[in-house]
Homo-oligomer: A and B are copies of this chain.
């Protein structure tokens, strides 16, 4: 029986485990401000890695970064009716621009400084970017117009959970305008594919890309596509979305262009985004009962070197430090994933064993300890975080030669990345069930972590769809997406008995 670093275990208490992991891995914490978290250095470092890698791909796709206002006048939202219906319930509203003393030592919003038109803190930026695009687009020559911003957004949430659902979160939002539907659809699918490949690559997180059913569309969109990842409790996490908005936002904002024949046309627009929610996904896909296992490609530090200093013999400690520094330089030389290896020499004041477990919980991919005997023998003690135990439950520490290990470290990091991906992929595929005849029985209360159902359906709309949504809701289920890569439908609709037109994934979700 292994004594793991976390008290809560995934198999028993997934929610408690998630919360404890975030605290113990020093990723984030409650801020004292309702629904907002503080993202701590290790958590923010992961976000910086995600930003860096994703931003390069956004730029490579010819999308320009910009920055648009945090505040959106209320009137902007009134223009696109479906959009405001979808968001109106959960926005932070700025009504005053000054505070004054109430005369009793407290501050209050200054009644004399009430805004004529309240401002909404952006929940997403279609409306304000649409207004800019209307200024920027004149002719077909200006199209396609492709912009992106990295920003904070706010959606007032009643029940929050760190990284997954917070009132304020960080994200990127891409917005593009095109002459026609074909161009907009192609861009929307390009962004979807970028997200899919990014999840499977840097995040080592397998996902299913597909189209959301009508009832799950972004407010105002014609089509919404998503990537869905499976957490270790079998629940789905919508990890990224890409929307084709038709011409409705262009009509609301007046994004028009002169076509080649001199006529005026409305643009077809898209938007697409991923957020700090991805970090929640990485935790729930790769974490274990000892903490996070951070995929090397997004780990702020990939290799940690812990010198075992005894503070008894200064010469001995110096020899250990010198050896560790030389190793650090050696490890940082080769490229892993096309970038220099990120090595940290941990010289903090903590005890070496505390450091080891701190890095285990944070999920540094490789942890190296160096003591005087290692220096004498030219060796290292190495823990590979993703495969930390031997069959007998003991820590799988290896003792390679220093120079041999240095030559293989970059390949080892790439191997860890692949191993995490393949472990998660196997779990995803073995938990998608295609032979379910009774959803109620399959998703019975006492069944732990049941995974997803892939069902054939006729894609009904209106009241028929509402009925299915209600039926699923009673089982706490939602439709996730109709996978792009699913087999063609060849049967009847599970819900209506009509001829099926596609397959749809169903599951519990975050």
Contact = CB atoms under 8 A, between A and B. Distances in A.
A67 B67 CA distance: 18
Interface in A26-60: 29, 31-33, 36-41, 44-45, 47-48
A428 interface: no
B349 A141 contact: yes
Contact of A92 (B65, B78, B97): B97
Contacts of A101: 88
Contacts of A70: 36, 121, 152, 154, 168
A33 B92 contact: no
Interface stretch (A104-112, A201-209, A236-244, A259-267): A104-112
Interface residues of A, number: 66
Q: Is the interface of A mostly helix, strand, loop or mixed?
A: mixed
A463 interface: no
A156 interface: yes
A336 interface: no
Copies of this protein in the assembly total 2
A84 interface: yes
A36 B125 CA distance: 14
Contacts of A98: 88-91, 93, 156
A47 B65 CA distance: 10
A450 interface: no
A457 interface: no
A29 B69 CA distance: 11
Interface in A90-143: 90-101, 105-109, 118-121, 128, 131-132, 135, 141
Contact of A106 (B78, B106, B349): B78
A41 B135 CA distance: 15
Interface string A144-179: 000100011010100000000001101000000000
Interface in A244-303: none
B39 A66 contact: yes
A64 interface: yes
Nearest to A92: B94
Contact of A68 (B38, B66, B93, B135): B38
A72 interface: yes
Contacts of A90: 97-98
A69 B36 contact: yes
A506 to B, nearest CB: 31
B31 A128 contact: yes
A266 to B, nearest CB: 20
B77 A107 contact: yes
Interface in A409-428: none
Nearest to A156: B97
A147 B41 contact: yes
B36 A71 contact: yes
29 contacts: A33-B71, A33-B72, A36-B69, A38-B132, A39-B66, A40-B66, A44-B64, A45-B64, A47-B67, A48-B65, A69-B168, A70-B154, A70-B168, A71-B92, A78-B105, A88-B99, A88-B100, A88-B101, A88-B107, A89-B98, A91-B97, A91-B98, A93-B99, A94-B94, A94-B95, A94-B121, A95-B109, A99-B120, A151-B152
The 7 closest A-B pairs by CB, nearest first: A36-B69, A41-B64, A39-B67, A97-B156, A93-B96, A33-B69, A93-B109
Given A92-B119, A108-B118, 11 more contacts: A32-B131, A38-B66, A39-B67, A70-B121, A70-B152, A70-B154, A77-B107, A92-B94, A93-B94, A95-B95, A95-B96
